[in-house]
Structure 1
Amino acid sequence: MKSVHERLNLYTNDDDSYIFVPAEPAGARPLVVHRHSGDIVLDLPNSAIPSSAKRYKKTIYGIFGLISLSQSEYLIVITGRELRGQLLGHPVYRAVDFDVLPLNPGVSVSKPSHPVETHLLALVRSHLNSGHFLYSYEFDITRRLQAQYVARENDEGKPMWEIADDRFFWNKFLQSRFIDISISDLKNDLSPYILPAINGTFDTRTAIVNGRKLQLCLISRRSRFRAGTRYFRRGIDHDGHVANFNETEQVATVPSQSDPNEAATTLSFVQIRGSVPVFWAEINTLRYKPDLQIMDLQDSVDATRRHLQEQISLYGDQSLVNLVDQKGYEKPVKEAYERYVAKANLPQVKYQYFDFHNECKHMRWDRISLLVDSLTDDLLRDGYFHLDSKYQDPVKWQLGVVRTNSAIARWTLDLQLKNAGILAEKDVVEQHVEIDVALREMWSEHADLISKAYAGTGALKTDFTRTGKRTRQGALDDFKKSAFRYLRNNHFDGARQDAYDLMTGAWIPRKGPSSALFLIAETRPLILRAVPYILSFSLFMILAGLTLPRASDYSLVYYFALWVTLVVLSTTFILIHGIDYVAWPRLLPLTDVIHYDGPGYRSSHHGTGFGLDFGKLKSGANAQWTTRGIRRSDKQMEEIELGAKRHVD
């Protein structure tokens, strides 16, 4: 496998070009990006830098990709990184700082000339700043160890981008032009500049167990297909991709006693998780619990089968563990899950329900051991990946997967260390404080980071995961997180979802800001826009009234009665029309989900108004239900749909 350039010196030749010169190896071919034409070429080895070129103030640690917005293409370069640890002796970095460089010389990144470009650039920056992007210059972290071992001979001499797992190559859309050039023009093979990155987590810890040094590593990889936020990406799509799919790999290595730099034993255990593989959604209405919707489409069974078949082809046998509540709000999701898995009728898929809410109520999470006990036969059958330096071939292969759970990972680690001769038969990890604490902390931080990417806050109840105890401070932190989640999910996640769709290529901008004016337009009727201002002013007047002199009690009673009445009426109006006050995604609006009236289930229809078409009060509008009041013209919709086609790799 070919490595990628680790450090680049950037030179800007006025408005003509960007020149990237590798710091090493000496004589490597520089990369030249011509700003006027957009051409990307490799210069000759040891080419002289033009005398007019100025060196960029920062060192470049990699090219994250190239994105085209409405006015210009932009290079995204990594200008800051932190070492997160090593995987099998290979450094793994996190990108922590980025610069965005315009190709169009007439475009300013700091002061774009059009508000549409300003909005799109803000989406790019927010995604870069909030993501957890990891990479290695010399090791493919997009694939689990077993997959790399199987393909090791076929990978020989190939560039990293070519062998990367397509699902977890997060910036593949951004690297598509570089990849296309490398494929079509062998003289301009840009592979040394194509740096695959994952969006996920990576953590390593070292512990001593029975006198043997053990390195633990936990790495998660998030799929770029159907990625998004908590409520705006649920369920499955027609291609069989489920929302927010993650692969989590727990790796344990035991160094050789003769050479600490070499691994005598390498142990890997992979689990997966993702949204329930049926067509379902949660419709935000400003209420704490959104409306739950199940959509029974014509190809629902095919989509579920397609998803499961892909998982079987990649991982082997599937143990589908369902932990949702069998009563109340979550019950329809459970029933739909069971129904479509049964209809898919795949012999390598085993469905198992565990009543987590009942079995583990009152914080009795130790009872998750009941689930592990019920899965023992499957876990023993599926196994794990085990390499031993004494043998040429792997000692064990992992032949199946289950849904991610730290308890299952802990049980498997016990089994792995016993088979490796590090733990005695009746010994368990929990009896060794150092590794037990390391394991708890790793999985807690993993849960936090995954939750932040998905829900906008850290995971709940992590105090129990870390310490095994529930604390008052932990309960208070969970209350704060829940409140913040509510605010983010209803008022900020629309823009976050747009950033996901823009950066992964689910939506592609067309040239010219006029094609995306809907991003900055406010087309809700005046009455919908006015009510929040009435509420805010009424609250202000109530607070101001508390400071008024009490010359007349009767006048104050009437005063407060007026403004309190306005507060109650405006609050009621906002809740009744809650859907119109949610910050919905704009690039790929969820209109087909909101307006769905086919077979299936919907828990309620909150927030949809009185049934009045306020849009008719405004000439030329039709805003009975909108994605923030947006109803686009046929021409706009045609442009959006043309731009929204997924990039074909």
Structure 2
Amino acid sequence: MRPLHQRYTLFTDRTDTYIFVPEGETQSLTVHRSTGDIVVNSPKTNVPYTAYRSEKVIYGILGLISLSLTDYLIVITGRTLQGRLMGHDVYRATDFDILPLAALSPHDPPHPVEAHLLGLIRSHLSGGNFLYSYTYDLTRRMQKQWETREEDGGKALWEVVDERFFWNKFLHTKFIETATAGNMPALGSYILPIMYGTFEVHPAFLHGRHMQLALISRRSRYRAGTRYFRRGIDHDGHVANFNETEQILLVQAPNTPGAGNVDDDNFVSRLSFVQIRGSVPLFWSEINTLRYKPDLQVMELPDTKSAMAKHLVEQNKTYGRQSLVNLVNQKGHEKPVKEAYERYVAELDLPDVKYEFFDFHGECKHMRWDRISVLIDRMKEDLEKYKYFQLDSTAETPKCVQSGIVRTNCMDNLDRTNVVQATLAKYTLNLQLQDLGIISASDGVDDFESFSKVFREMWADHADAIANAYGGSGALKSDFTRTNVRTKKGALEDGYKSVTRYLKNNFFDGSRQDGFDLVTGSWIPKRGPSASLFLVKDPRPLVTRSMPPVVSFSLFMICAGLTLPRTSDYSLLYYFLLWFTILSVALTFMVVHGVDYVAWPRLNPLTEIIYYNGPGFRSAHHGKGLGGKNQTEPNWKKAKWLTTGLRKAAQKVGVEEVELGTMKKRVD
């Protein structure tokens, strides 16, 4: 592949251009601020003497994004080395700068809409785990890279990456279009693909053999988002929280000189095992209502079957045969999702798709986590049939290839899924070590504590990272992954994590979801902030907005009555009765209208899902006000005074609606 530039010096020539000068004698890049044109300069082009040199080192260009006032270049100004894999450095981007093309300050923009959009980008960049390598394709599993090694020669990295995991593909749209249309291969050295995911690599030693054990998870940019605001499938067959996880085992020869040196690529065997996870491929969601357990909504749409078929067939084309492991409960709140999933899988009856249900909570109740072995016994035949990828240094062709995939899901694809995927990975690792002759057929990873600890810690860290990105807290049940034992301390920690998830999912994830939609191109701002005023205005009526302050003030008055010194002997009975009554009324109103107090995403509103009343299943209609079962939109939106006011405001700013984001989805 064509090499990528790894360090740049940035020059700013007044308000005319940004000039990126890579290390070494190579072609610099100019971005014209007035037009947004991207130009690769001819060799030995001099930087204008009027240009100002930035003190920061630039480690990569994340891309270019257009907001309501101007376009912005996003560059990487900080990185940390995550590890070294087969001689390639893998970095995590830690700091970013946002460079406006227009002459305005990105830290103090002249309009609140622009400030809000910039805040979403900064929040997304600071909260994500963005990984990249200048010399290795992190987005593709080892087997795929070997299969396409000949046709990849001479191409730029962005041309060979897996588009599902090319997180900044939308941001690099203009760079890619310019490189393609202008036949500028040199521009490819500036296009740095970023992956949102996890990466860990650890040295290990077992029976005289030095090894490295690595784990990579890759998060799809399609239908990306947060736990409750991205569920199920879309009409193109993309599912929420889709992750590909690759476990890599690198083995050195016995008595290798310098064995254990992680900087060398002197491995005699390279092995890879891949699994995937993804939301149940139906049109479904859980509707937040401020209650701890949200309402379950399963939507029976006409194209449900075709969307599921698209998803499963695409996975077959990508990975081969497929085993679907479903961990959703078979009774209670989750039962309708399980039944709908099984019904559609049976109706499709795809030849290379096998369905396997495992009642996780039923089998493992009372902390009987050893019962996961029941699932492993069922999956042994598939795991041994699908195998894994193995390439030895002395062979021109792989010793074996992975011909199938296990797709695991629970409701969130987090906690139960993490436990099961780690167990499947351990079983396959046992097979690999046995086939290599490192351990005997009667031994397993758990028989070697130091090696087993590396494996457990790596999978537990991986679980926490995925859970934080999607659910807002570390993974539940991670004590079992780390120690092979389910403990009471772990159960208490899970309670704390569950409360954290509740608070984040109800009151903070709306803006997080907006950040995902903005950066991945699921929502594109129109030029002119007046078209996006709905982002900085609250259209709810005054009575709805006033309830949280009323609750806060009532609590303050109650606490004041209990703690402040008294100057009279009169009873406070009526005082407390008044404020407890006001508090109770306000809280009751908020619970009855709970949907109006959830921090919903604004860029791509979920109104059609929240107020869906078509065929399917709805567990309840909490939080939608009195008689909310048949509502198709919030009660307060139907008010004549509100509708008239919004229409007048819309006419004033020249747009049709100001309270809803009705931007179209980008297709690339």
Answer whether TM exceeds 0.5 for this pair. Answer: yes
Structure 1 residue 319 corresponds to structure 2 residue 307: no
Structure 2's unaligned 5+ residue stretches are 409-420, 629-634, 646-652
Matched residue SS, 1:191? helix
Deviation at 1:551, TM superposition (A): 5.6
The equivalences for 1:421-440 within 5 A come to: 421-440=437-456
Q: Quote the residue 2:657 is aligned against.
A: 636
Q: Distance in 2 between matches of 1:249 and 1:615?
A: 48
The equivalences for 1:530-541 within 5 A come to: 530-541=546-557
Q: Distance in 2 between matches of 1:635 and 1:349?
A: 47
Q: Quote the residue 2:417 is aligned against.
A: none
Cα gap change, 1:174 to 1:346, in 2 (>3 Å): same
- Answer whether contact 1:181 1:189 (CA < 8 A) is retained: no
The equivalences for 1:277-292 within 5 A come to: 277-292=281-296
Q: Distance in 1 between matches of 2:666 and 2:21?
A: 33
Please tell me the root mean square deviation across aligned C-alpha atoms, in Å: 1.8
Deviation at 1:622, TM superposition (A): 8.7
Structure 1 residue 133 corresponds to structure 2 residue 130: yes
Shifted more, 363-372 versus 582-591: the winner is 363-372
Q: Distance in 2 between matches of 1:530 and 1:116?
A: 24
Q: Quote the residue 1:627 is aligned against.
A: none
Q: Distance in 2 between matches of 1:237 and 1:341?
A: 17
Q: Quote the residue 1:119 is aligned against.
A: 116
Q: Indicate which of 30, 33, 53 corresponds to 1:55.
A: 53
Structure 1 residue 31 corresponds to structure 2 residue 51: no
Q: Indicate which of 643, 646, 654 corresponds to 1:621.
A: 643
Matched residue SS, 2:78? strand
Q: Quote the residue 2:414 is aligned against.
A: none
- Answer whether contact 1:173 1:647 (CA < 8 A) is retained: no
Q: Indicate which of 183, 203, 212 corresponds to 1:215.
A: 212
Q: Quote the residue 1:629 is aligned against.
A: none
- Answer whether contact 1:550 1:556 (CA < 8 A) is retained: no
Q: TM-score, normalising length from structure 1?
A: 0.95
Deviation at 1:16, TM superposition (A): 1.2
Q: Quote the residue 1:563 is aligned against.
A: 579
- Answer whether contact 1:63 1:193 (CA < 8 A) is retained: yes
Cα deviations across residues 513-570 of structure 1 (Å, max 9, x unaligned)?
A: 0110000011101110111111111001001111344566653011011101111111
Structure 1 residue 583 corresponds to structure 2 residue 599: yes
Deviation at 1:256, TM superposition (A): 3.4
Cα gap change, 1:177 to 1:639, in 2 (>3 Å): farther
Q: Distance in 2 between matches of 1:37 and 1:599?
A: 50
Structure 1 residue 403 corresponds to structure 2 residue 374: no
- Answer whether contact 2:534 2:658 (CA < 8 A) is retained: no
- Answer whether contact 2:533 2:658 (CA < 8 A) is retained: no
Cα deviations across residues 556-599 of structure 1 (Å, max 9, x unaligned)?
A: 01101110111111111100000000000000001111121111
Structure 1 residue 74 corresponds to structure 2 residue 84: no
Q: Distance in 2 between matches of 1:554 and 1:505?
A: 64
Q: Quote the residue 2:384 is aligned against.
A: 380
Q: TM-score, normalising length from structure 2?
A: 0.93
How many pairs were matched up?
A: 636
Q: Quote the residue 2:233 is aligned against.
A: 236
Q: Distance in 2 between matches of 1:219 and 1:187?
A: 32
Structure 1 residue 22 corresponds to structure 2 residue 22: yes
Q: Quote the residue 2:147 is aligned against.
A: 150
Cα gap change, 1:617 to 1:301, in 2 (>3 Å): closer
- Answer whether contact 2:369 2:485 (CA < 8 A) is retained: no
Q: Distance in 2 between matches of 1:36 and 1:615?
A: 42
Q: Quote the residue 2:411 is aligned against.
A: none
Q: Distance in 2 between matches of 1:64 and 1:46?
A: 25
- Answer whether contact 1:181 1:188 (CA < 8 A) is retained: no
- Answer whether contact 1:70 1:513 (CA < 8 A) is retained: yes
Deviation at 1:469, TM superposition (A): 3.2
Deviation at 1:490, TM superposition (A): 0.5
Structure 1 residue 365 corresponds to structure 2 residue 369: yes
Identity, % of aligned positions: 57
Q: Distance in 2 between matches of 1:121 and 1:209?
A: 50
Q: Distance in 2 between matches of 1:240 and 1:601?
A: 21
Cα deviations across residues 347-400 of structure 1 (Å, max 9, x unaligned)?
A: 100001011101111222221111011001111111100111121110001011
Cα gap change, 1:638 to 1:558, in 2 (>3 Å): closer
The equivalences for 1:97-496 within 5 A come to: 97-105=95-103, 107-187=104-184, 189-257=186-254, 258=256, 260=259, 261=264, 262-404=266-408, 405-496=421-512
Cα gap change, 1:410 to 1:633, in 2 (>3 Å): farther
Cα deviations across residues 421-477 of structure 1 (Å, max 9, x unaligned)?
A: 111111111111121000000000000000000011111122222123344543333
Deviation at 1:344, TM superposition (A): 1.5
Q: Distance in 2 between matches of 1:615 and 1:274?
A: 35
Q: Distance in 2 between matches of 1:498 and 1:311?
A: 28
Deviation at 1:88, TM superposition (A): 1.7
Matched residue SS, 1:124? helix
- Answer whether contact 1:616 1:622 (CA < 8 A) is retained: no
Q: Distance in 2 between matches of 1:100 and 1:427?
A: 54
- Answer whether contact 2:605 2:661 (CA < 8 A) is retained: no
Task: Name the aligned partner's letter for residue 340 of structure 1.
Answer: Y
Structure 1 residue 89 corresponds to structure 2 residue 109: no
- Answer whether contact 1:615 1:622 (CA < 8 A) is retained: no
